[in-house]
Every structure is written in C-alpha cells, then in structure tokens.
Homo-oligomer: A and B are copies of this chain.
Amino acid sequence: MQNIGIYINPPQEVWPELCKRAEQDNSAIAERVEAIVGRVASEGDAALYDLAAQIDGVKLDSLAVAEEEFLQAEQKVSAEVKGAIEVAVKNITAFHRAQMPACIEVDTSAGVKCIQKPIAIRRVGLYIPGGTAPLFSTVLMLALPAAIAGCGEVVLCTPTNKQGQVAAEVLYAARRCGVEKVFKVGGAQAVAAMAYGTESVPKVDKIFGPGNRYVTLAKQLVSGRNTSIDMPAGPSEVMIMADESASAEFVAADMLSQAEHGRDSQAMVVCNSEQLADEIVCEVLRQAQLLDRADYVAHSLFNSRVVVFDNRNDMIAFANEYAAEHLIVSMQDAWGVVEEIYAAGSVFVGNYSPESAGDYASGTNHTLPTSGWAHSCSGVNIDSFMRKMTIQEISADGIRGLAPTIIAMAEAEGLEAHAAAVKVRIKNCK
C-alpha cells in the first residue's frame, strides 16, 4: 500500500500533474474497432454471429433474448435482490421524474410566440457490459429515465457468458424497467449494431452505457457519424474531501470501493492535515486485508493520491480542477464547500453518504462524467433522453413588427434572399 502518495501543499503548477488520470492509449485498437464497426454496418446479423464466435467463443442460435429466457431469469433472481431492485426503482424513479422539463412558451414581441418543447428521443440503445459481474444496476440507471422520458423504443445489448446466456439479474431488471428488446451482442459490435441497425437489432438515435475500451472507442466513432452518445467515457474515479469531522475509516472504505472497479480507476483524497492523511492510508491498509480481492484492490490503488492543503480555498480549487466523477465532501461546513464546487459529476455530502448509495439506490444516476469531463458534461439525467425543439408562430402583425430588424441584419450580413423572404410576406400581408 506504499503506492498511495501523500502530497503536502503542492504548488498550483503541479496540480495538473496530480489531477492526471491513468493514460488510456486507444490508438492500438482503433483499426480493429473501425474494422468491426465497418463489418457490422455492411454485413448485419451475419457479422454479429460470426464475431460472437470469433471474439467471445460463443455459438449463438439467436441474437434476441427469447421470452423463455426472461421467464427463467425471473425465477433465478433471489427474492432479496428483487426486493432491493424495487427500492432502487422507487428512488431512481422519484428523482428522475422530478426532472421532467416543462414546455416553455414566451411571446417575445407582439405576435411573436416562441416555444421550447421537450420531446423524448424516439429510439435509444443501452449497452450493459458483461464480464465478471452482472451490472444490473446500470440497467436501472438507463432504462428507468428512458421510460420516464417516454422514449418509444428501447433496445438493450449485452454480451453473454460462454454458454450464450445473459445474466439473470440483467434480464430481470430490463423487463422490470419495460425493456422488451434485449440482444446478445457485446463489445464494439453492439455499438455498431445499434448505430447502423441489422436484421435483428433496430437502429437507434442515441447510445448509452459504459463499456471497455472497444465499446468506448466504437461509441466515439459512431458519434462522429450518425448516432449520438451519452458522454465520453473513462475509468471510474472518486475524490474525497475530508477534515477533522471526517472518519478515516469511512474515507478508506470509500477509496477501496472505488479501487475494486479495476486498476484504471482512481481514488483521490483532499484533506487538511498530514495526520488525517496518515490515518486514512493506515485504514486503507487495514481494511484492504479484509477483502477477498485484497491483492487486486491493492494494485488498483496505484493511481491513488492523498493531497493535503492547509487552507479550505486550495482544497476547493483543487477539487474543481480535478472535476471528479464522484465527490464525497466529509467536512464540517460541507454545504458551504458544495456551494463553491462547480465541477463534479455527483456530490455526496457528509459522513453517511457513501458513493455506493448513489451507485445503487439513493435515486441519483450513476452514469457520470469521468476524466475531467465534469467541467463541461452532466451525468445521465432526464435531459439525456430528450431533445428540446423550438417552435415559433408569427402573426401578420408580428412579422410586420420584426421586418425592419430582420431586413437590416440580413442585408448587413449580405444575405439578400433572407431579407426577400420577409419582404415578400410584408407585401402580401392581409
């Protein structure tokens, strides 16, 4: 655990270095992802079956999950997990429903009505990674807001195990959230399938969800072509701001819960005393031993840093520069600090708000901007599943009133036909 560096009052010049995330060089896989996307776009289902066999070693009979599989999943999931899902669904629904935007209508001038109308995106695609654990919580975080927003068609792609099966919890959660179309497709090929459509997988307008580097790169690729994506993705991260009101035990537990995500993920601490820094590092060491995956977790703390500042302003400025995906504020004046935070994905206030609460069940979304994207991006929320379309209706009087303005501006911009489109109407105004 000697890997966790402690930095005392680092000067501002070194902050960018301290804020660095684990480098992700995707150039090596770019060609491969491009080839996969191209193949799926041109060959459709045939490419998906073939890639499942080739890459995942799975022989699939059908890409779509069958009704029977949903029913089996329902039987397999324990009553305890079903109960937990109900609580999470209730809280996530309550918070996201409250976010529904209203239609806005303004008469900007006499006879000039302007409307901003929120409209659900028609067709959305959700990607749920497979791997060692079935991330059914992400199903809730994506499918519930899609349903609340009113998206007409929701498609879910997820890889199978070697036996061609999707995790029962994922299927159960999907159906619980109203998702009927689940496909056994993983990786870059899933993204391509949803972006271009195949015989089985419908084309969607926007793709959501986390994934490995192949998935991330494929999402980036299609986002420059024909399909929107939720946000740029990178490894998960947490920053914990702590002072004497914090508990070293809790802080350490939060760092470890981040570390178990993988060796790319990062747990940062910003605190106000060396003593607290030392206590936290000791606690991490102690608690890590208690975990089954102790070695794995220890390795993941390579990227972790504890930064000590002797004043509150620097703590806050550093947190804003870092722009954490998850920011836990365990400080005396936590709300005063939060007031000054402008760059973070989701914030957890006080000693009893662990990141895991937001990961599963408090109601906030866990699909959040990483790698500093919290400077400019929101996490997934109701807006992510909606568009805002503007509408204007101008009366004859209204266009008469606006005409001199439009004509003057259009002519100053050298766009005479723009002016003419107004003049022809004025001439004909009843």
Using a CB–CB cutoff of 8 Å, the interface residues on chain A facing chain B are 78, 80-81, 83-85, 87-88, 90-92, 94-95, 98-99, 101, 104, 106, 108-109, 112, 114, 116, 119-122, 132-137, 169, 205-206, 220, 223-224, 226-228, 232, 247, 249-250, 253-254, 256-257, 259-261, 287, 290-293, 297, 334, 338, 341-365, 372-379, 381, 383, 387-396, 398-399, 402, 404-406, 408-410, 412-422, 424-425, 428-429
Across the interface, A424 reaches (CB within 8 A) one of B249, B348, B414, namely: B249
Residues on the B chain within 8 Å of A375, using CB = 121-122, 205
When C-beta atoms are compared, the residue in chain B nearest to A133 turns out to be B414
Are B413 and A133 closer than 8 Å at their CB atoms?
yes
The reply to whether A253 and B122 contact each other, CB–CB distance below 8 Å, is no
Structural contact, A84 and B387, CB atoms closer than 8 A = no
Chain B residue nearest to A347 (CB atoms) is: B391
Contact A350 B419 (CB under 8 A): no
Give bound CA distance, A52 to B351, whole Å: 55
Residues of B within 8 A of A362 (CB): 108-109, 112, 114, 392, 394, 402
Residues of chain B with a CB closer than 8 A to A120's CB:
342
A421 touches B293 (CB 8 A): no
Min CB–CB distance A18 → chain B (angstroms): 17
Given A291-B417, A409-B360, A416-B292: A402 touches B227 (CB 8 Å cut-off)? no
State in angstroms the CA–CA spacing of A405 and B80 once bound together: 8
14 example contacts (A-B, Cβ-Cβ < 8 A) are as follows A84-B405, A84-B408, A88-B405, A91-B112, A109-B362, A121-B375, A122-B343, A136-B409, A169-B413, A352-B399, A353-B394, A355-B421, A356-B410, A361-B405
Distance A409 CA – B101 CA, assembled complex (angstroms): 30
Q: Given that A354-B421, A377-B228 are contacting pairs, would A349 and B416 also be in contact in the complex, using a CB cutoff of 8 Å? A: no
Q: Which residues of B contact A409 (CB under 8 A)?
A: 81, 84-85, 88, 136-137, 360-361
Name the contact of A420 in the complex, choosing from B257, B348, B357 (C-beta under 8 A): B257
A99 CB contacts on chain B under 8 angstroms: 104, 116
A126 to chain B, nearest CB (A): 14
Q: Which residues of B contact A90 (CB under 8 A)?
A: 108-109
- Contact between chains at B106 and A94 (CB < 8 Å): yes
For A106, list chain B residues within 8 Å (CB): 94-95, 98, 363
B-side contacts of A169, CB under 8 Å: 412-413
A47 shortest CB reach to chain B, Å: 21
Least Cβ–Cβ distance between A121 and chain B, in angstroms: 5
Closest to A388 in B: B378
A273 to chain B, nearest CB (A): 21
Chain B residues with CB under 8 Å of A354's CB are 399, 421-422, 425
Does B421 lie within 8 Å of A250, measured CB to CB? yes
Name the B residues within 8 Å of A254 (CB-CB).
421
Asked whether, in the complex, the Cβ of A399 is within 8 Å of the Cβ of B116, the reply is no
Q: Which 4 interchain pairs have the tightest Cβ spacing?
A: A108-B363, A133-B414, A228-B376, A84-B408
A391 and B357 form a contact (CB under 8 A): no
Contacts of A402 in B (CB 8 A): 87, 357, 361-362
- Give A422 to B351 CA distance when docked, in angstroms: 11
Task: Report the separation of the CA atoms of residues A376 and B223 in the bound assembly, to the nearest whole angstrom.
Answer: 11
Closest residue of chain B to A247 (Cβ to Cβ) is: B428
Cβ–Cβ contact B352 & A392, under 8 A: no
Query: How many Å lie between the Cα of A324 and that of B16 in the bound state?
Result: 42
Knowing A137-B413, A345-B389 are in contact, say whether A360-B405 is a contact too (CB < 8 A). Answer: yes
Report chain B residues within 8 Å CB of A133.
413-415
Residues from chain B with Cβ under 8 Å of A249 in the complex: 424, 428
Choose from B224, B360, B364, B376 the contact partner of A114 (Cβ within 8 Å). Answer: B364
A293 touching B416, Cβ below 8 Å: yes
State the Cβ distance, A161 to closest chain B Cβ, in Å.
14
